[in-house]
């Protein structure tokens, strides 16, 4: 069995499969020499994992039995703040965001832990390896072709070229996370996508060593995002304590914003300068930075089906994220577990049709219920903050009965854009509290090999406004604009800065995986 | 303290770095001796006195003609045991480092390397060395009877004075395993310039040059300074210079005595590849370029005027 | 030809910190194969390809270093030996050389290879120390190895040019990163690595702990490389630069 992606979904699947294998070893022999293999693009599991995160520990605890996973303790206290440029108002915590009893974790650390656990149980983790293509024979997925390593910028084979290989498996489980390459391909190729397009938010976060402990989990709304509906700036910030000496802060903004001047990285820097927030970081030191997109389409954007012959799809890759509650990790874990069980049943009985049981088990799971209940909340905000609050309120009070039906989503790249003077308000990096993008990319541990083919598919002669949108949007300074003829610009792509957040895919381009061991090396994000 | 300083030499001259270490050792108090090892090297002993040695040992033997480390370990070990030296000081070099490590095991002596300073405090010797790409400074000591200290190249200036030294012959007795390596051929470096890693001077070009053709400015300046040419990631990406010359996080890490950055903004990805350079001179039009935050000499101006003129001035100076 | 390659698992360059309690490098995070050590492993694999034999990877480190060693097995090494014992925590050059030499004595290799530097700065010149311990000839900075009758010739790079040095086997050779471009492990290699023998031995197996000869006294942050002189708007900046270089004795 092949799992692509060593994140919470993939590792949960690996652990569950390993547990099932241990329970019935005779059946396990049917799975071949390497019964469970997990492909991971990054240098190690966890290197590409980034989240807040406050997670619901239930599914993970149930999966691991009496083994405790690493966390920074339970949420004891929380605040939701509405910010203006100089003030902060405490709001009552919306029911969807109540986090008492949930656990604060670093997903990058959790990934390492789960990988160790999976290996102890017998799974084989294959790091620095990209799932490049699905192997399909007679309409059935029979495995994955891995990516090449050692091509030059022009695609030619360098001296140390190593071609990818084929891994054949009875069942392939895709757990690639947001903008998963094989997942996006599979959704198209097998016509699995639902009627509504997926939409995303971009999250940029930092981890700080701080002088004084933070005593609560904080979520903010409002400034520096603008509430007027014409801007469509949906999102907010999170600030979580990681033990007594560290804090993580992140800014999450929906990619359906309209102003080409929006830069989530710079909004994060701006947020830290707020008079109520600045003191948290005084005397501290920034020790990590990263960025990643989060699927926001929710229930409306889920695929029609989560399986195809020989194939199962889990986690963020298919949008299993509860946006109002900011929760997705435990759904990833649960979907991984359910996928493992369906894969096991299909393989050990030989009845390949049993893969469809996965869909059924998802639909009867708590995660389906949760997502259904909040299905219209995010779309409400697509019409501006006030409208969104009202819709959210109604949906929450009626537990999803109202508004009726499911509001459609619009693709992030389908909107008209304009430019305001927003960028002028971003703070100039001072190297102490606020930072530029290049030094941030450095702090993500990114040491991508330069001499390899560009992995970002993009039109490179575009109108200035679109080029500006991309350049500002990208947290890693991948896109540089040069003037070209007739009012267009040429977009230079500095691919080796890319931390593979996936934002470009939401906005008219396509992120594909660079060679293995490229991108960030997150340790505590 | 009774100190012995290894005086490395090449083509008839004791190396500046060794004389620097000798000068420093002389300031520490106690007796300082130098040792010169080779074949036909007796004359090198003269002059060591003026840098602070009160005596110089000469091991002159045709078996020591090749600059190989292991026979030198034999000579120094014997000297340390017979003369009772408690401290051996060596300037870091390919040869010096190999000698130092072999000697440490031979004598059971503690060895601290990459030192930038050394001092005597309460009868103990303390060294200072940078660590974690020079971001922190570590104070180190020795717990063994004999102490070996290896110094970062160029850590100390050679300061000549008036002293003279007594010259002594050192006995040469070589171990079996020390004579197994045999020099078959030695070639001086090609005049096309040193490799980046070994270069004492590097001139690096960045985006500010404007085009691949303008790299001739960088090459010209490197040539007159006797240095190597390097490039930033941005210009290598654009194809103006090959990857083999890239300095930075995803290229080479260099630590020359002099690094001249021409048209380079100096973002951290580049900085980490050259921040250990002895002196950084940066020429850039943009007064807010990050490189000016850490360059030793920041020159804000047009490189297209400054670099050609600088090259001419240096060439004239060299000529005279 | 039996080839032993000495390697080190080091914390990733980016996250290196000093442990404030011990003043030593904090090794509690991810450990991976030192980037310099991929070169001797690659060279050993090539020598095995042309001369037959076995490639064994030897290292001193905590038990977690086994993951980093697995990468060498994925590249093609036959087995690994890890010397892991609390007694060696914070070992300096002397103690490390002692441990490695002890492990190597058990193997009686024809050729012992090292990488040229240690990525974490702690292993300078181990090759010369180990060679002395084992009483073997040593060549360092080797950018090319040619096997000849009864020995090998190494092309050695120095500050002044290059030399060719011949040694009989067994010998110790430290190779520079100019010697080769290390291969990426193949998929087959990665999947087969787990099955290869990974031995872990302790201080007793290598002849005791050995003694350290140095200590770390304190750690401080030096003043950041401060802004130096600034020249702007002068009449002849090039001349100013020359004057500066002369004054700093850089010419």
State residue C173 phi and psi, 5-degree precision.
-130, 130
Please tell me the distance in Å from B59's CA to the nearest CA on chain A. Answer: 47
Output the DSSP codes for A434-502.
---HHHHHHHTT----SSS---EE--SEEEHHHHHHHHHH-TT--EEEEE-STTEEEEEE-GGG-----
The tokens for A464 are 């200035």
Output the DSSP codes for C94-129.
HHHHHHHHHHHHTT--SEEEEESS-TTS--TTHHHH
Please tell me the distance in Å from B43's CA to the nearest CA on chain C. Answer: 21
* Cα A380 to chain centroid, rounded: 22
- Residue A382's pLDDT is 67
Q: Read off the pLDDT of each residue in C68-92 and give the average, rounded to a whole number.
A: 93
Q: Give contacts of C 108-137 with B, CB under 8 A.
A: 121, 124-129, 131-133, 135-137
Please tell me the distance in Å from B58's CA to the nearest CA on chain C. Answer: 23
- Residue A384's pLDDT is 65
- Residue A29's pLDDT is 72
C123 touches chain A (CB under 8 A): no
Question: What is the rounded distance in angstroms from the CA atom of residue B140 to the CA atom of residue C211?
Answer: 16
Mean pLDDT rounded to a whole number for chain A? 92
Q: How confident is the model at residue B192 (pLDDT cuts 50, 70, 90)?
A: low
Please tell me the distance in Å from B238's CA to the nearest CA on chain A. Answer: 10
- Residue B122's pLDDT is 79
- Structural element, H or E, at residue B110: strand B110-115
Please tell me the distance in Å from B239's CA to the nearest CA on chain C. Answer: 21
Please tell me the distance in Å from C68's CA to the nearest CA on chain A. Answer: 11
Q: Which residues pair with C171 in a beta bridge?
A: C111
Is residue A388's pLDDT more than 70? yes
Mean pLDDT rounded to a whole number for chain B? 91
Contact B297 C222 (CB under 8 A): no
State residue B27 phi and psi, 5-degree precision.
-80, -10
Instruction: Identify the residue among A156, A430, A440, A450 best suited for mutation to test binding to B, counting B beta carbons within 10 A and taking the highest.
Output: A450
The answer to whether the CB of A472 falls within 8 A of the CB of A260 is yes
Instruction: Identify the residue among B297, B313, B316 best suited for mutation to test binding to C, counting C beta carbons within 10 A and taking the highest.
Output: B297
Q: For residue C88, which of C101, C105, C78 has the smallest C-alpha distance?
A: C101
Where in chain C are the domains? 2-206
Establish whether domains B2-179 and B201-319 are of one fold. Answer: yes
A70-80 residue pLDDT tens: 999 999 999 99
B61-107 residue pLDDT tens: 999 999 999 999 999 999 999 999 999 999 988 899 999 999 999 99
Contact A112 C30 (CB under 8 A): yes
Contact B267 A451 (CB under 8 A): no
Scored b (16 or more CB within 10 A) or e, C89-104 reads ebbbbbbbbbbbbbbb
Q: What is the pTM of this model?
A: 0.90
Instruction: Identify the residue among C13, C29, C67, C191 best suited for mutation to test binding to A, counting A beta carbons within 10 A and taking the highest.
Output: C191
- Residue B291's pLDDT is 94
Is residue A441's pLDDT more than 60? yes
Q: Read off the pLDDT of each residue in A357-371 and give the average, rounded to a whole number.
A: 95
Q: Cα angle at A422 between A417 and A426, to 5 degrees?
A: 135
A308-360 residue pLDDT tens: 999 999 999 999 999 888 899 999 999 999 999 999 999 888 888 889 999 99
C86-109 residue pLDDT tens: 888 888 889 999 999 999 999 999
- Structural element, H or E, at residue C143: strand C138-148
Spatial neighbors of B249 by CB under 8 A, at least 6 apart, are A442, A447, B268, B269, B270, B272, B273
- The highest-level CATH class for domain B201-319 is alpha beta
- Residue B132's pLDDT is 74
Location of structure tokens 């560290």? A246
Contact C138 B136 (CB under 8 A): no
Contact C18 B157 (CB under 8 A): no
- Residue C30's pLDDT is 82
Q: How confident is the model at residue B313 (pLDDT cuts 50, 70, 90)?
A: very high
Q: How confident is the model at residue C123 (pLDDT cuts 50, 70, 90)?
A: low
Question: What is the rounded distance in angstroms from the CA atom of residue A219 to the CA atom of residue A240?
Answer: 9
Residue A429: burial class (beta carbons within 10 Å; 0-12, 13-18, 19+): middle
Spatial neighbors of B213 by CB under 8 A, at least 6 apart, are none
C223-235 residue pLDDT tens: 766 668 999 999 9
Q: What does the radius of gyration of chain B's CA atoms come to, in whole angstroms?
A: 22
Q: How confident is the model at residue B231 (pLDDT cuts 50, 70, 90)?
A: very high
Nearest CA in chain B to C244: B297
Please tell me the distance in Å from A289's CA to the nearest CA on chain B. Answer: 15
Query: What residue ranges define each of the domains in chain A, with the CATH number in brackets?
Result: 2-49+107-194+302-373 (3.50.50.60), 78-104+198-297+415-511 (3.30.9.90)
Q: How confident is the model at residue B200 (pLDDT cuts 50, 70, 90)?
A: confident
Output the DSSP codes for A324-345.
TTTB-HHHHHHHHHHHHHHHHH
Question: What is the rounded distance in angstroms from the CA atom of residue A12 to the CA atom of residue A335?
Answer: 8
A141-185 residue pLDDT tens: 999 999 999 999 899 999 889 999 999 999 999 999 999 999 999
Q: Read off the pLDDT of each residue in A256-268 and give the average, rounded to a whole number.
A: 96
Taking each helix axis as running N to C, give the angle between helix B215-225 and helix B303-319, from 0 to 180 degrees, rounded to the nearest 10: 30
A458-477 residue pLDDT tens: 999 999 999 999 999 999 99
Contacting residues of C for B101, CB less than 8 Å apart: 93, 97, 124-129, 132
C32 touches chain A (CB under 8 A): yes
Instruction: Please state whether the peptide bond connecting residue C22 to the residue before it is cis, i.e. omega within 30 degrees of 0.
Output: no
- Residue A114's pLDDT is 97
A286 touches chain C (CB under 8 A): no
Contacting residues of B for A494, CB less than 8 Å apart: 234, 237
Q: For residue B105, which of C104, C136, A54 has the smallest C-alpha distance?
A: C136
Is residue C121's pLDDT more than 70? no
Contacting residues of B for C136, CB less than 8 Å apart: 177, 180
Contacting residues of C for B100, CB less than 8 Å apart: 125, 128
Is residue C119's pLDDT more than 60? no
Contacting residues of B for A514, CB less than 8 Å apart: none
Q: Give contacts of C 34-73 with B, CB under 8 A.
A: none
- Residue C120's pLDDT is 54
Instruction: Identify the residue among C169, C225, C244 best suited for mutation to test binding to B, counting B beta carbons within 10 A and taking the highest.
Output: C225
Contact B250 A450 (CB under 8 A): yes
C5-22 residue pLDDT tens: 999 998 876 566 777 777
Chains with 3 or more CB pairs closer than 8 angstroms to B? A, C
Contact C126 B101 (CB under 8 A): yes
Of the candidates C16, C125, C219, the beta carbon closest to that of B100 is on C125
- Residue C224's pLDDT is 67
Spatial neighbors of B231 by CB under 8 A, at least 6 apart, are B204, B205, B206, B215, B240, B241, B245, B246, B247
Spatial neighbors of B259 by CB under 8 A, at least 6 apart, are B201, B202, B204, B274, B277, B278, B279, B280, B281
Where in chain B are the domains? 2-179, 201-319
C24-33 residue pLDDT tens: 777 777 888 9
Contact C227 B292 (CB under 8 A): yes
B168-184 residue pLDDT tens: 999 999 999 999 999 99
Is residue B141's pLDDT more than 80? yes
C130-187 residue pLDDT tens: 999 999 999 998 999 999 998 999 998 877 778 999 999 999 999 988 899 999 999 9
Question: What is the rounded distance in angstroms from the CA atom of residue B239 to the CA atom of residue B242?
Answer: 7
Q: How confident is the model at residue A365 (pLDDT cuts 50, 70, 90)?
A: very high
Of the candidates B236, B267, B268, the beta carbon closest to that of A450 is on B236
Is residue A449's pLDDT more than 70? yes
- Residue C225's pLDDT is 67
Q: How confident is the model at residue C122 (pLDDT cuts 50, 70, 90)?
A: low
Of the candidates B237, B243, B251, the beta carbon closest to that of A494 is on B237
Tell me which CATH code domain B2-179 carries: 3.40.50.620
The tokens for C182 are 């290390």
Contact A129 C190 (CB under 8 A): yes
C190-240 residue pLDDT tens: 989 989 999 999 999 998 888 888 888 888 887 766 668 999 999 999 999
A272-320 residue pLDDT tens: 999 999 999 999 999 999 999 999 999 999 999 999 999 999 999 999 9
Question: What is the rounded distance in angstroms from the CA atom of residue B259 to the CA atom of residue B254?
Answer: 9
Contact A160 C29 (CB under 8 A): no
Is residue B217's pLDDT more than 90? yes
- Residue C118's pLDDT is 59
Selected from 3.30.565.10, 3.40.50.620, 1.10.3290.10, 1.10.1060.10, the CATH number assigned to the domain covering C2-206 reads 3.40.50.620
Question: What is the rounded distance in angstroms from the CA atom of residue C129 to the CA atom of residue C114?
Answer: 12
């Amino acid at each position: 069995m092949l799992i692509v992606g060593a994140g919470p979904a993939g590792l949960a699947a690996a652990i569950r499969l390993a547990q099932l294998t241990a329970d019935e070893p005779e059946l396990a022999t049917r799975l071949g020499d390497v019964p469970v293999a997990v492909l991971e693009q990054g240098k190690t599991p966890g290197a590409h994992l980034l989240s807040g995160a406050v997670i619901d520990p239930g599914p993970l605890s149930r999966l691991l039995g009496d083994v405790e996973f690493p966390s920074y303790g339970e949420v004891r206290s929380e605040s939701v703040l509405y910010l203006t440029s100089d003030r902060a108002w405490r709001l009552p915590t919306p029911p969807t965001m109540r986090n008492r009893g949930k656990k604060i974790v670093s997903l990058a650390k959790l990934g390492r832990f789960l990988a160790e656990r999976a290996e102890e149980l017998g799974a084989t983790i294959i790091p620095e390896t990209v799932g490049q293509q699905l192997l399909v024979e007679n309409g059935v997925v029979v495995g994955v072709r891995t990516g090449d390593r050692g091509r030059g910028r022009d695609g030619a084979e360098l001296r140390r070229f190593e071609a990818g290989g084929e891994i054949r498996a009875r069942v392939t489980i895709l757990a690639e996370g947001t903008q998963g390459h094989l997942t996006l391909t599979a959704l198209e190729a097998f016509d699995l996508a639902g009627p509504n397009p997926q939409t995303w938010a971009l999250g940029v976060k930092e981890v700080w060593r701080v002088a004084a402990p933070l005593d609560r989990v904080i979520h903010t709304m409002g400034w520096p995002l603008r509430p007027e509906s014409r801007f469509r700036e949906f999102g907010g910030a999170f600030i979580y304590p990681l033990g007594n000496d560290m804090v993580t802060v992140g800014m999450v903004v929906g990619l359906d914003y309209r102003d080409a001047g929006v830069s989530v990285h710079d909004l994060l820097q701006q947020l830290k300068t707020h008079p109520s927030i600045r003191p948290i970081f005084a005397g501290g030191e920034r020790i990590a930075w990263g960025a990643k997109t989060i699927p926001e389409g929710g229930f409306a954007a889920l695929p029609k089906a989560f399986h195809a012959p020989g194939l199962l799809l889990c986690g963020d890759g298919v949008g299993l994220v509860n946006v109002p509650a900011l929760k997705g990790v435990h759904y990833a874990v649960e979907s991984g577990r359910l996928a493992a069980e369906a894969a096991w049943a299909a393989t050990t009985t030989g009845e390949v049709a049993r893969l469809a049981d996965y869909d059924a088990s998802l639909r009867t799971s708590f995660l389906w219920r949760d997502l259904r209940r909040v299905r219209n909340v995010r779309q409400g905000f697509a019409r501006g903050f006030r409208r969104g609050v009202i819709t959210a309120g109604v949906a929450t009070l009626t537990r999803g009965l109202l508004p009726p039906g499911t509001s459609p989503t619009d693709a992030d790249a389908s909107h008209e854009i304009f430019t305001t003077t927003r960028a002028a308000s971003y703070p100039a990096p001072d190297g102490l509290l606020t930072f530029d993008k290049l030094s941030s990319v450095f702090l993500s541990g990114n040491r991508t090999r330069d001499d390899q083919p560009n992995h970002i598919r993009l039109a490179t002669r575009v109108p200035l406004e679109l080029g500006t949108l991309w350049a500002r949007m990208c947290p890693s300074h991948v896109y540089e604009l040069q003037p070209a003829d007739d009012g267009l610009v040429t977009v230079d792509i500095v691919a080796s800065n890319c931390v593979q957040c996936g934002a470009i895919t939401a906005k008219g381009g396509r992120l594909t995986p660079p060679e293995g061991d490229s991108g960030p090396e997150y340790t505590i994000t | 303290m009774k100190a012995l300083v290894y005086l490395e030499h090449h083509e008839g001259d004791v190396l500046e770095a060794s004389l620097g270490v000798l000068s420093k050792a002389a300031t520490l108090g106690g007796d300082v001796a130098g040792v010169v090892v080779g074949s036909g090297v007796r004359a090198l002993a003269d002059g060591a006195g003026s840098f602070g040695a009160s005596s110089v040992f000469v091991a002159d033997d045709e078996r020591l003609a090749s600059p190989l480390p292991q026979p030198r370990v034999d000579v120094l070990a014997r000297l340390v045991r017979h003369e009772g030296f408690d401290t051996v000081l060596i300037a870091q070099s390919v040869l010096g480092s190999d000698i130092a490590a072999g000697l440490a095991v031979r004598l059971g002596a503690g060895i601290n390397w990459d030192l930038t300073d050394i001092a005597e405090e309460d009868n103990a010797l303390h060294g200072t060395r940078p660590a974690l790409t020079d971001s922190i400074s570590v104070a180190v000591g020795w717990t063994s009877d004999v102490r070996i200290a290896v110094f970062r190249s160029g850590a100390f200036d050679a300061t000549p004075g008036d002293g003279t030294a007594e010259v002594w012959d050192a006995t040469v007795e070589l171990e079996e395993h020390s004579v197994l390596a045999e020099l078959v051929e030695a070639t001086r470096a090609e005049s096309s310039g040193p490799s980046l890693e070994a270069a004492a001077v590097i001139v690096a070009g960045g985006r500010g040059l404007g085009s691949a053709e303008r790299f001739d400015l960088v090459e010209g300046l490197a040539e007159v300074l006797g240095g190597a040419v390097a490039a930033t990631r941005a210009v290598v990406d654009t194809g103006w210079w090959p990857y083999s010359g890239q300095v930075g996080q995803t290229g080479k890490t260099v630590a020359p005595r002099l690094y001249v950055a021409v048209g380079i903004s100096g973002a951290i990805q580049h900085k980490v590849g050259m921040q250990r350079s002895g002196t950084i001179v940066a020429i850039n039009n943009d007064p807010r370029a990050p490189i000016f935050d850490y360059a030793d000499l920041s020159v804000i101006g047009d490189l297209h005027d400054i670099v050609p003129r600088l090259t001419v001035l240096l060439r004239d100076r060299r000529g005279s | 030809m039996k080839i032993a390659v000495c390697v080190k698992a080091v914390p990733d360059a980016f996250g290196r910190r000093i442990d404030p309690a011990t003043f030593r490098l904090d090794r509690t995070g991810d450990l991976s194969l030192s980037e310099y050590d991929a070169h001797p492993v690659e060279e050993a694999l090539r020598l095995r390809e042309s001369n037959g034999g076995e490639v064994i990877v030897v290292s001193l480190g905590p038990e977690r270093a086994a993951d980093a060693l697995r990468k060498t097995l994925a590249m093609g090494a036959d087995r690994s030996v890890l010397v892991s014992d609390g007694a060696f925590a914070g070992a300096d050059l002397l103690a490390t050389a002692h441990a490695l030499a002890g492990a190597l004595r058990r193997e009686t290799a024809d050729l012992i290879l090292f990488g040229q530097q240690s990525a974490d700065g702690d292993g300078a010149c181990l090759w010369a120390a180990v060679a002395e311990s084992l009483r073997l000839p040593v060549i360092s900075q080797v950018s090319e190895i040619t096997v000849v009758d009864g020995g090998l010739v190494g092309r050695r790079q120095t500050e002044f040019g290059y030399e060719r040095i011949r040694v009989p086997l067994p010998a110790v050779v430290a190779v520079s990163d100019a010697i080769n471009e290390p291969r990426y492990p193949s998929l087959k290699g990665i999947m087969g690595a787990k099955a290869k023998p990974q031995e872990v031995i302790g201080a007793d197996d290598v002849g005791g702990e050995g003694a350290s000869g140095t200590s770390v006294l304190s750690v401080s942050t030096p003043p950041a490389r401060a802004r130096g002189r600034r020249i702007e708007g002068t009449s002849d900046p090039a001349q100013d630069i020359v004057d500066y270089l002369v004054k700093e004795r850089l010419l």
